[in-house]
Amino acid sequence: MNVNNQYCYFFEDEEFKETGRDGFRRRVITGENSQLWFWRIRGGSTGSIMHNHVENEQLGIIMRGKLDFRIGGKEDTQRVVLGEGEVYLAPPSIWHGDSLFIGDEELNEVWILDVFSPPRTDI
């Protein structure tokens, strides 16, 4: 394993940065045309409001724990629960959020990989 390779990134706990929301940490890796956000969210955390990304498509996969959220119209009240290995797609302008994060049994965390295209500039 070449840890000095500029094109490879490794799971290093210290690379996850706190955000402005309690219980949320993330690591962001940005390429020319896409961007990966690796979230580590403490189970039971709140603070994900309904929102959309006008210019960005978002593709997410749940890696650990569960995500209970809404996706679709801004006023859509139907909730979806996604578990490990399940994926969501939020095309540009699709509303999503109002999330409940259900931590796993081992770490009480939810791990989500979000890919944005094009890369977001509002981080």
Residue pLDDT, tens place only, 50-63: 999 999 999 999 99
* Conformational region of residue 75, where left means phi above 0, alpha means psi within -120 to 50, and beta covers everything else: alpha
* CA 96 – CA 114 distance, rounded (Å): 13
Q: Quick check: 48 pLDDT over 60?
A: yes
pTM of the shown model: 0.92
| Structural domains in the chain, sorted by start | 14-117 (2.60.120.10)
Between 79 and 9, whose confidence is greater?
A: 79
12-35: b or e for each residue (b if 16 or more CB lie within 10 Å)?
eeeebeeeeeebbbbbbeeeeeeb
Burial of 71 (0-12, 13-18, 19+ CB in 10 A): buried
* CA 27 – CA 11 distance, rounded (Å): 10
